[in-house]
Structure 1
Amino acid sequence: MLFKIVLLVHILSSLAIAASQDLNFIYSGFRSTNLSLDGLAELTSNGLLRLTNEIMQQTGHAFYPNPVTFKNSIDGSAFSFSSTFVFAIRPEYATLGGHGMAFVIAPTRGLPGSLPSQHLGLFNESNNGNQTNHVVAVELDTRRNIEFNDLDGNHVGIDINGLDSVRYASAGYYSQLNGKLTNLTLISGQRMQVWIEYGGMEKQLNVTIAPIDVDKPSRPLLSLSRDLSPYLNSSMYIGFSSSTGSIYSSHYVLGWSFKMNGLAEALDISRLPKLPRLGPKKTSKFLTIGLPVLCLSLVFVAVSSVSYGIRRRRKFAEVLEDWELDFGPQRFKYKDLYIATKGFGDKELLGSGGFGRVYKDPQTTHVVGTLGYLAPEYARTGKATTSTDVFAFGAFLLEVASGRRPIQPAEDVILVDWVFARWLGGEILEARDPNLGTEYVAEEMELVLQLGLMCSQSEPAGRPSMRQVVQFLEGDTPLPDISLLRLPASNLPFSRFDDFALSSMGKSFSHTSVAESLLSGGR
């Protein structure tokens, strides 16, 4: 008889275990599930379970819709169970979380009367810590609350009937390679996986956490040796709870697996829904790698080109004498010589002597000189002759005698035209320098002014030679009649300065007065 009773008890116990073993589910996303939701909890269009959002001071709950048998009806002992889930916490601020979330086993769905903020939607101020709660939870807490003796603002804890955790540790996992603890940041926004396992025979609850790309560590983060039978009712609900405070966080669950009396089925990470994009859209490798390299290359080429140009300019740089700054450069540039002699090659060498080597003369069309002293033909051809020197000397004579510069751009006056107009009017002495007053010889002044006009004829053949100029000045030869002179201007009393000549040749000329330079001590 006794044997039959023992056998009956064993059969009934086995039936109870078999009934509980029927619960085995896996959610690779929540698109087609019928979870019981309340508060802020919602299912997104792509299958995410979002427990909270941007609304502050609120709770969110999501529970498996049916009650789960947790205890043997014969002896009241708690069954073994296993659960795993993937979660992510996206805070409002990168370094400050808005309270956390928890996996919870509770006697009712929705946890009525629970508060947000530090209570995580699990308890309220009056029932926190009551033994009649029959609540077991694993919290992922992102805020430190001194009233609950929290370790820090980034910890994992096992809660029984209250928020003062019976086991807790800073979030992290033990490496399979060296066994060292690697820290995790719960509010990093990255996906992480949690494993919760209770052994009914061992009476031990283990909690393990790791990044999504790390296999389950063999050593759990938390281990609690305690029989859960006194804290659990026979029928319980399983799910998740979360809350927001004055600062919010979005708490996501991507996948969830649970099994009574066995190991929960592993989640296929590749089948889980995608989290919302965090931060700016990823850019292509060309923009992140190729473009910077290309820009650096262009900068290098630009710097090299500028450096080469500076070195080349220095190589051909001209150092001008002081007098050349006044009268303009009267030399061939080193660059022109270098090019004309093909780098001072031997084939261009004519010979050498006491003054050094002599090379073939380079030809140039670059007009240099002081504007107003240049003969018309020199401005056209760029070739200097003795006749162009006579023209320049004539301009010099007129400048000395009149006290005016050959070209006066501010007044648009050409000195040759101005003096010639005075001569045509029979009053050439009116062109004299007024600063002389009466301290001059009229005949000599008239001679100098007329000779200046004669030297400034537009036709080179009509100009005297320098030998003749000397003879005129010394009185050895009388000055011829200058009434038939062909001057470069139009015989108008005042001719306007040629804008084209100024714009096309101005960069090569100086407006400095030659007479002013030579006679700087006064007349």
Structure 2
Amino acid sequence: MENSLTMLFKLAILISLLTSLAAGDETLGFIYNGFQSANLTVDGIAEFTSNGLLKLTNNTRQKSGHAFYPNPISFKNSSSNSSAFSFSTTFVFAIHAAEYPTLNGHGIAFVVAPTRGLPGARPSQYLGLFNEANNGNASNHVLAVELDTIQSSEFFDINDNHVGIDINQLKSNISAPAAYYEDRTGQLKNLTLISGKPMQVWVEYNGDQKKIDVTLAPFNSGKPRTPLLSLRYDLSPIFNNAMYVGFSSSTGSVLTNHYVSGWSFKMNGQAQELALSQLPKLPRIGPKRRSKFLTIGLPVILASLILAAVSGVVYVIRRKRKFAEVLEEWELEYGPQRFKYKDLYIATKGFKDKGLLGSGGFGRVYKGVLPSSKQEIAVKRISHESRQGMREFVAEIASRSTDVFAFGAFLLEVACGRRPIEPRAESEDVEILVDWVFGFWCRGGILEARDQNLGSDYVVEELELVLKLGLMCSHSEPTARPSMRQIVQYLEKDTPLPELSSLGISATGLTFTDGEGFDDFAMSYPSTMGLTGSSSIADSLLSGGR
């Protein structure tokens, strides 16, 4: 027990000795580039964060927090009428509005006070410095530089974003809106204390000139040559021989966080510059900042890829349409009787002039090789600019045909613009093209069966010749159809086509009365407008050619 008391007594003597030495050191100085292992004394809601920030307040309403250098500092010598020493300090702070970006819960102050913790001090507008009873008392012996974010009318605050020098009370001896003077232009530039951005403050007292200077600047911009505030005031009556230095802050009805990330102090000299690059980072405000690659680059890349994919799809669709084959219903049932355009295009290498064999009626003829069988072919590409008439075109096709019936059906696709067999809209029956054209012939208006898309761009005689010849070639009896030799003669007008007046038309059929040109066979044409009867036109469509 005796040993324990002895140890405690020795420890008390040591602490007293250290305090005396600290208080008597007229050139004391310290620096905190972050507060990771700081020995500051904190109270209220003040605390240190894991990364070394001094957090004076947290998200708590109507509370205050203090942080002081633990030892008293000598601000005057021991004589009663001595003058206050000069001092210099600088610190980096930030105020984060936790609830609303434009509202805050009071501010932060640098303090020189006779005691640590400022017992009895109130939060909110009192900034943790004074209370209702002692505000303005000469016995306070307090110097404070406030960074205030609320306009308190009872203290005659100039606005809700100001810097002030307070002596023993919260009515500032001098104040100004938060700003700094730019060295290059001398222009005063405003700062917003609750922006959440770090800012640096310099507080300097010249004991010889009895002047207090306060300077504010954005973080990492350097100290401006011109201070924001300058106050001629002798602090000798205010300061005791030994004083404490630190920070005080408070919250009100709006949640706010007050931070100090670095602090340097020096008696009778210039405070050491903070190592700004070593200061702890402030908490992020709002959502995490996204990189420009994610916000700009990636969307542009995705849009480009989508555009390329869409362009590729459009190209494939257009290519398919370019080479697409439209098959008639009869071709789907019996098989296509044609070459695919794609095969012909490939065979002729895109109808290049290098493979041109010659030019004739209705277009050019190209040499080609079928890709499947390697067979050499000649392909005639029809030209829409050809000035030959329908009769010449049909005659050319006829000279190369051997199937009279198929040729007759061809004449009626060409002239009527209809398919050989089409469903009736009003029933389940189908309509035969030959029957349909024959009906117009029976009514004496065969030209009404023409393709309406022709408009007036046709020769009446040629179109009538094609329609009548198409019916004759599509006769249900193969022996009643004209030969290819006769068809060519009709088309080339070497032999006139029998006139309508020379034909006997009745409800039961069609016969030639004089038989001119058809002496070797008799012709009958049953008038069946449906699919009934073994000798109907429908049967003729399924019969073989001549």
TM-score (norm 2): 0.61
| Aligned residue identity for 1:226 | Y
Are 1:41 and 2:46 an aligned pair? Answer: yes
Aligned with residue 408 of structure 1, among 416, 424, 435: 424
Instruction: Please state if 1:100 is matched with 2:112.
Output: no
CA distance in 1, matches of 2:153, 2:169: 14
Is the Cα–Cα contact under 8 Å of residues 29 and 47 in structure 1 kept in the other structure?
A: yes
SS of the equivalent of 1:147 reads helix
CA distance in 2, matches of 1:167, 1:387: 114
Distance 1:145 1:303 in 2: 63
TM-aligned CA distance change 1:183 to 1:478, over 3 Å: closer
> Would you say 1:145 and 2:145 are equivalent positions?
no
Q: What is the deviation of 1:179?
A: 1.6
Which whole-Å CA distance do the structure 1 matches of 2:511 and 2:172 have between them? 121
Deviation, structure 1 residue 149:
1.6
**Which of 479, 497, 502 is matched with 2:524 structurally?**
479
In 2: Cα distance, 1:200 partner to 1:62 partner: 25
**Conserved in 2, the CA contact under 8 Å of 1:387 and 1:463?**
no
1:426-450 CA-to-partner distances (Å, cap 9, x unmatched) read xxxxxx9xxxxxxxxxxxxxxxxxx
Shift of 1:52: 0.8
Of the three residues 86, 96, 103, the one matched with 1:90 is: 96
Counterpart of 1:128 (choices 127, 135, 144) is: 135
Cα separation, 2, equivalents of 1:279 and 1:302: 37
Alignment-derived partner of residue 189 in structure 2: 182
Partner SS for 2:208: coil
1:119 aligns with 2:126: yes
Distance in 2 between the 1:232 and 1:462 partners? 136
For 2:141 and 2:365, locate their aligned partners in 1 and report how far apart those are by CA, in whole Å: 112
Partner of 1:449: none
| Alignment correspondent of 2:82 | 76
Return the match for 1:67 from 61, 65, 72.
72
Q: Is the Cα contact below 8 Å between 1:16 and 1:72 reproduced in 2?
A: no
Q: Which moved more, 1:283-292 or 1:176-185?
A: 283-292
Runs of 5+ unmatched residues, structure 1? 1-14, 316-334, 365-382, 396-404, 420-431, 433-451, 492-523
Instruction: Please list the CA deviations of residues 454-494 of structure 1 after superposition, one character each: whole Å capped at 9, or x if unmatched.
Output: 9586xx96783499998634466463997588938999xxx
Deviations 1:331-364 (A, max 9, x none): xxxx999998968969748458xx9x84338669
Runs (5+) with no aligned partner, structure 2: 1-19, 323-341, 367-378, 382-400, 414-420, 440-470, 488-496, 504-509, 516-521, 527-532
* Correspondence 1:194 to 2:212: no
| Counterpart Cα distance in 2 of 1:456 and 1:279 | 88
CA distance in 2 between partners of 1:309 and 1:169 (Å): 71
User: Pairwise mapping of residues 45-444 of structure 1 onto structure 2 (< 5 A)?
Assistant: 45-74=50-79, 75-92=81-98, 93-294=100-301, 348=356, 350-351=358-359, 358-360=363-365, 387-388=405-406, 390-391=408-409, 406-408=422-424, 412-415=428-431
Q: CA deviation at 1:247?
A: 1.0
Offset from partner CA, 1:101-128 (integer Å, 9 cap, x none): 1001112222222222221111222222
* TM-score for both structures, normalised by structure 1: 0.64
User: CA contact under 8 A between 2:404 and 2:481: conserved in structure 1?
Assistant: no
Contact 1:21 1:259 in 2 (8 A): no
Deviations along 1:300-342, one digit per CA (max 9) or x if unpaired, are: 8689999999999xx9xxxxxxxxxxxxxxxxxxx99999896
Report the residue type matching 2:481 in the other structure: P
**In structure 2, the residue corresponding to 1:231 is in which secondary structure?**
coil
Rounded Cα–Cα distance in structure 1 between residues aligned with 2:277 and 2:52: 14
For the 8 Å contact 1:23–1:259, the answer to whether it is kept is yes
The alpha-carbon deviation at position 18 of structure 1 amounts to 9.2
Cα separation, 1, equivalents of 2:343 and 2:172:
91
Aligned to 2:461: none
The whole-number CA distance in structure 1 between the counterparts of 2:247 and 2:403 is 105
C-alpha distance 65-363 of structure 1, shift in aligned 2 (>3 A): farther
- Identity of counterpart residues, as a percentage? 51
Relative to structure 1, is the Cα distance of residues 244 and 107 closer, same or farther in structure 2, using a 3 angstrom cutoff? same
Distance change >3 Å, CA 347–CA 478, structure 1 → 2: closer
Q: Distance in 2 between matches of 1:473 and 1:341?
A: 51
Residues 465 and 102 from structure 1, CA distance in 2 versus in 1: closer, same or farther, beyond 3 angstroms?
A: farther
Counterparts of 2:70 and 2:301, CA distance in 1 = 58
- Counterpart of 1:429? none
Instruction: Note the alpha carbon deviations across 1:214-257, whole angstroms, 9 max, x for none.
Output: 11111111111110011122222211111111112210000111
**Partners of 1:463 and 1:270 in 2: CA distance:** 107
Measure the CA separation in 1 of the matches of 2:246 and 2:479. 117
Preserved CA contact (<8 Å) 1:394 1:455: no
For residue 76 of structure 1, what is the amino acid of its counterpart? Answer: S
Tell me, yes or no, if the aligned pair for 1:50 and 1:252 is still in contact at 8 Å: yes
Kept in 1, the 8 Å contact 2:23–2:72? The answer is: no
Give the number of equivalent residue pairs. 401
Secondary structure in 1 matching 2:277: helix
Query: Separation in 2 of the partners of 1:47 and 1:80?
Result: 29
State whether residues 455 and 463 of structure 1, in contact with CA within 8 Å, keep that contact through their aligned partners in structure 2.
Answer: no
SS at match of 1:250: strand
Q: Give the superposition deviation at 1:151.
A: 1.6
